[in-house]
Amino acid sequence: MSLSRIFRDVLNLFYPTSCEACGDELLGNEKWLCVSCWIAMPKTNFHLQSPNPVEQRFVGRIPIQHASSMYYFNKDTRIQEVLHALKYKNKKDIGIELGRRFGHELLDSEWISEIDVILPVPLSKQKLKSRGYNQSECIARGLSEILDIPVDTDAVLRRKNTKSQTSMTIAQRIENVKGAFEVANASSLIGKHILLVDDVLTTGSTLESCAREIVKVPDTKISLLTLAYAIE
């Protein structure tokens, strides 16, 4: 990480006046990101396509009804900077705002009215204590605000603290999250269409592991959303 990046992060912690994506100074009516960066964020429009690449990622793995991601993700891009701020710089409000914006996009999807509850992929107790918040829950809260669908953070728990998967192969990722989740309150999910929400979709191993436990609950349906879709 460059010295200029470190200086910007420290300065922005106390005086949050620069864009989290490009570092330019924000104008008076701008918040978190400058207008140019908001416009330049690479939307996928997957929510208007079926099948789409997110849905196809899970074919033959888990039964899902619908799936989408809002932005394409690649290294050294605006969305990477934004997600870095959300996950590691305590910028929870960015996640909520991104969820709101995703929610507005999803209002054009006929299937979104089928959803009964939004469930963010949970963090382990250790990681939640260390970070102080779940970035996926921030996104879910923003979605809930626009879509008027409740968020449930108690029904499913992460029962083990998995390792970072950044440098893992697909096989290693699958093994890493095996048995990581458990349904703690099945009665709250019976008969519901659940929208499982995470921040980034890479291999889909985390979402798959979580969804496998949920579909054991009788009469449940699952749809998936991630804020970003990693380009291979």
| Digit-coded pLDDT (tens) for 56-107 | 999 999 999 999 999 999 888 899 999 999 999 999 999 999 999 999 999 9
Domain with 163 in it: 43-230
The CATH code of the domain that includes 49 is 3.40.50.2020
Looking at the 3D structure of the chain, how many domains does it have? 2
The partner residues of 195 in beta bridges, in order of sequence, read 118, 223
pLDDT of 9 over the 80 cut: no
Nearest of 232, 197, 224 to residue 66 by alpha carbon = 224
Q: Give residue-wise pLDDT tens across range 174-225.
A: 556 666 899 999 999 999 999 999 999 998 989 999 999 999 999 999 999 9
* Residues 181, 122: Cα–Cα separation, whole Å: 8
**Rounded to an integer, what distance in angstroms lies between the CA atom of residue 63 and that of residue 31?**
39
User: Average pLDDT for residues 121-125, to the nearest whole number?
Assistant: 91
Same domain, residue pair 124 and 163: yes
Domain closes at, from 10, 25, 40? 40
Shared-domain flag, residues 29 and 100: no
The torsion angles phi and psi of 200, rounded to 5 degrees, stand at: -130, 140
Residue 129 and residue 69 share a domain: yes
Asked if 93 and 128 sit in the same domain, the reply is yes
pTM, to two decimals:
0.86
Same domain, 77 and 18: no
Q: What are 31's strand-pairing partners?
A: 33
Same domain, 14 and 112: no
Q: Are residues 28 and 108 in the same domain?
A: no
Same structural domain for residues 180 and 120?
Answer: yes
Under 8 Å between Cβ of 198 and 120: yes
Do residues 71 and 152 share a domain? yes
What is the distance between the alpha carbons of residues 94 and 34, in angstroms, rounded to a whole number? Answer: 13
Are residues 178 and 218 located together in one domain of the fold?
A: yes
One domain, residues 54 and 32: no
DSSP H/E element including 195: strand 193-201
| Count of Cβ atoms closer than 10 Å to residue 47 Cβ | 23
Same domain, 2 and 102: no
